[in-house]
Amino acid sequence: MLLRYHRELARRLGLTEETLPLPPGVTTVARLAIHLARRGESWREALTPAAAAVAINGKDAGWCDRLQNEDVLGLSLKPGQQD
Distance CA 44, CA 75 (A): 14
Reported as a single tens digit per residue, the pLDDT across 35-75 is 999 999 999 999 999 999 999 999 999 999 999 999 999 99
> Span 24-28, mean pLDDT?
96
Where in the chain are the domains? 2-77
- Fold of the CATH domain 2-77: Ubiquitin-like (UB roll) (3.10.20)
- Torsions phi, psi of 70, nearest 5? -85, 0
Write down the pTM of the prediction.
0.92
Residue 83 has pLDDT above 60, yes or no: no
33 or 80, which is more confident: 33
Find, among 50, 53, 54, the residue nearest to 67 by Cα: 54
Quote the pLDDT of residue 80: 77
Residue 82 has pLDDT above 70, yes or no: no
Distance CA 63, CA 11 (A): 22
Q: Which residues contact 82 (CB under 8 A, 6 or more apart)?
A: 7, 8
